[in-house]
Amino acid sequence: MKVVVGMSGGIDSSVAAYLLKKQGYEVEGVTMLIWRSDSPYPAPVSANSCYCKDKSKDLERIDRICSQLGIKHTVIDCSDAFERDVLEIFRSEYISGRTPNPCVLCNSRVKFGTMLDRVSELVDFDFFATGHYARILHDESGRYELLKARDGKKDQSYFLSRLSQEQLSRTLFPLGEYTKSEIRSIDEELGFHEKGSAESQDFYGGDYSELLMLKSRKGKIMLDDGTPLGEHDGYWHFTIGQRKGLGIAYPEPLYVTRIIAETNTVIVSVASNSVFHGLDALDVVFVSEDYFDGRPYTVKIRSTDKGTESHVERTQSGFSVAFSSPVRGVAPGQSAVVYDGDRVIASGIIDRA
């Protein structure tokens, strides 16, 4: 059986290709390019990111690793899809005062979507694999379940939570049962990368606000009771839950609790007034199950969140969450991911805290 492996040049995807070949699969590497030469979006100041103008060093490294493994390597241009399905949505959401997650968008729409469609035109393959830390289980009912990785610190199921059943059915995550330290050890033994090599973690190497291409505009920072506290250069420089960088002297720590794009206003609150008791989510993808049965679930509102025990109910347009304990930083535009233990039950876009 043939597996196409998405290769970024990093440790994880390189070892994923090695492990699959070791398991007896016929393996080919594929890399997507997402920079468009005539793009209106600015190039990041740092090259250590997914969205980068010059990928020549990465491609050289990937070619070397593929040669060492004895596998073919294909480069696919997905820059048009990335600009349409990630950058434009990212910009639109931020300008609306929301906080989108570009990696969630990219995985479901581009990496596991457009790129695979274009690879299918060139290569016949059975499965697509990546170096993500997550697991897939094909249960007795025939459904494909998405599970957290064995390594809880590296688990990336949150970023993959919008993959459809069709996408999961053709996907392999060979690193799901490994820890990051184990993968690094394998990489060192194979000599793919120098010991202690740094890896790209962000999608854009710079200030996100650069992608919005907006001119600075003075606005007000106000306490939630209407008291003016200061000024800012644009609401898009702030996110819900932000505490640092507010530029305000106040007796207590302040947190951003609301962004009003229409009036260019940022609302802040003291700690006791900056928590939320629930949320409403729209645009839902049901993953391991397609219902909620009243049991306690765990809900994550960001990738680094440990999760909060919650009661979740399906609504006409999505689902609603009631947290068992107050949560800070519930940001509209981010993904709310519902877990039952290790299983990803559903993923929705936060509409209202």
Walking along the chain (353 residues) 10 residues at a time, the average pLDDT comes out as 95 97 97 90 76 85 96 96 95 94 95 96 95 95 96 96 97 97 95 78 77 93 96 94 92 96 97 96 96 95 95 97 97 97 98 95
At residue 271, the 3 state secondary structure works out as: helix
The residues with which 230 forms a beta bridge, in sequence order, are 221
Between vectors from CA 86 to CA 85 and to CA 91, what angle results, nearest 5°?
Answer: 115
pLDDT at 200: 59
pTM score above 0.85: yes
CA dihedral sign, ordered 283, 285, 290, 291: negative
pLDDT at 201: 61
pLDDT at 64: 96
Is residue 179 within 8 A of residue 150, CB to CB? The reply is: yes
Relative orientation angle of helices 56-69 and 11-22, to the nearest 10 degrees: 20
pLDDT at 264: 97
pLDDT at 61: 93
The bridge status of strand 335-340 relative to strand 297-300 is: antiparallel
pLDDT at 57: 87
For 193-206, letters b (16+ CB in 10 Å) and e give beeeeeebeebbbe
Rounded Cα distance, 117 and 30, in Å: 12
CA atoms in the 13 A half-sphere facing the CB of 36: 12
Is residue 29 within 8 A of residue 130, CB to CB? The reply is: no
Pick left, alpha or beta for residue 241 (phi over 0 → left; psi -120 to 50 → alpha; otherwise beta). Answer: left
> Would you give the end-to-end CA distance of the chain in angstroms?
46
* Helix H or strand E encompassing 342: none
Is residue 148 within 8 A of residue 137, CB to CB? The reply is: no
- Tokens representing 166? 């069709």
